[in-house]
Amino acid sequence: MAVFQETPAQIDGSGTEIPAATRLRDYLLRSRYPETNRLLKSDDPSLFETPLLAGDASAAATITAFAGEKLHHGSLRIFFRVSVRQPGFYSFRTQLMAETGRPLVEALLHQSLGAGEHQLYFFVYGKALRDAGASGSFVLPGIVGEKLPEDGITGAAQQGALSALRLTYKTQPYRSAVFTDKEWTSPEKQATIRRLQREIRQENMQKR
């Protein structure tokens, strides 16, 4: 029999326990897309104004170029190349904008990389593009990246920002109908939903 570990009740700013039903509702709203995608608002920082980890890791790796795109199962993959000199755990970020300059979607990639040349891609979930009201060509102003600390190491030589790729990339035009309208799902998401549903049942039993 599987044993499920109970998680502590969550408390709001006033010290009141947040009901599991409220937490489930909020989680469902937040998890319509993968954690690596976020809809952008007009007042969000631009790509090159986004805060990055302190430190300079420009000697560790270089983001060299965009390398094309591919529509895959209703979502978009934006490929790029990275040359790594210091193996480690890296994070990369870009933003998709409409041709008018309106911000649409932010995309992240976190990955452990060995030394050498790598072709990676940003995964932009189709529903995020549909919900952003996106159609036509998308413009990406570049890519920022950072080398993240590993195993608790926080020295400046092991972490920090890479040199940004300040090279605009424009995709081919897309109709919004080609992107999936299904909400994101994953084994981790389903496990979280089941856990919160169990908590709801437990809370309802306690009220009887």
- 137-181 tens-digit pLDDT: 999 999 999 999 876 555 445 799 999 999 999 999 999 999 999
Q: Retrieve residue 133's tokens.
A: 């009201």
Task: Tell me how crowded residue 186 is: count the other CB atoms within 10 A of its CB.
Answer: 11
Sign of the alpha-carbon torsion through 166, 53, 37, 86: positive
What is the structure's pLDDT at 202? Answer: 84
Q: Which position has the token pair 């870009």?
A: 94
List 11's β-bridge partners, or say none. Answer: 17
Could you read off the pLDDT of 58-107 as tens digits, one per residue? 999 999 999 999 999 999 999 999 999 999 999 999 999 999 999 999 99
pTM of the model: 0.79
C-alpha closest to that of 141 among 110, 187, 101: 101
